[in-house]
Every structure is written in C-alpha cells, then in structure tokens.
Copies of this chain bind each other. A is one copy, B any other.
Amino acid sequence: MSDLLERLRERGWRMTAQRRVVAEVLDGEHVHLTADEVHARATARLPEISRATVYNTLGEMVSIGEVIEVATDGRAKRYDPNAHRPHQHLVCSRCGTIRDVHPHGDPLAALPAGERFGFTVSEVEVTYRGVCPDCA
C-alpha cells in the first residue's frame, strides 16, 4: 500500500501531514472520488485541512501524472489514482458506477490524418456506457 506516497517522496515532494492524508485517502479507495469527497475523507483524519489544499494537492498529483482526472458527466471531476497503467472507463448510466477497463488496440490510430484538422492530437479518452449487472 501507499507506494503513491513513496513515489511522491522520490519526486522531492515536501512531505506534509496534509499531502500524506490526501495520498492515503486516494490510495485507499477503489472508487473514483470527487475533490469534495476527498476533502470530506481527509477531514475525518485531519480536521483542519482546507479545501484549497485538497484542490492544490490533487492538481499537483494530476500534473505530475500520478493521478488521472476524470470528468464523467459535467458534474464534479473525479480522481483516479490508478494512473500507472493506461486504461479507459466503463460507466453505468443508471447508478454512475465507474470501472476501469482495458480495450485492445490503440484508439488514436483510428483517427486518420485527414480528420485531424491541423490539431496536434496527443491523447484519446474512451468512455463506454451501459448498464451494470446490478441495475439490469
């Protein structure tokens, strides 16, 4: 557990109680939390942690690539600590559950040059939608 914390330390991060708590919350969850959910869980362990710090810390983790930001429905972003392996998401349209999935092939290759309109395309995000077994 908490090799996320280990990797952050290796990157020269100053290790504060707040950052430790945020990393632990993310690492301990199997579902993808919103920033405010992370804040709520962090507050349980460290009552004086502020919302801004949670947002900052999450933002920093995202920018160094340790965590992925997932925008599922235009509501709050969710944070996915499982950044070390490329994966896509499978979302239940009823209950909103998100699962990580690993499709084969490179979806980027499916976009021909003639359809790129001069963009420098760097990434592709695939979201499968359906109904999970529990909701069916």
Contacts and interface: CB of A to CB of B under 8 A. Distances in A.
A111 interface: yes
A115 to B, nearest CB: 5
A101 B115 contact: yes
Contacts of A119: 90, 92, 99, 128, 130-133
A132 B107 contact: no
Number of chain copies forming the complex = 2
Interface residues of A, number: 40
A15 to B, nearest CB: 28
A108 to B, nearest CB: 7
A130 B136 contact: no
Interface stretch (A18-26, A40-48, A70-78): A70-78
A124 B128 contact: yes
8 contacts: A71-B71, A73-B77, A90-B116, A90-B119, A110-B126, A122-B130, A124-B127, A125-B126
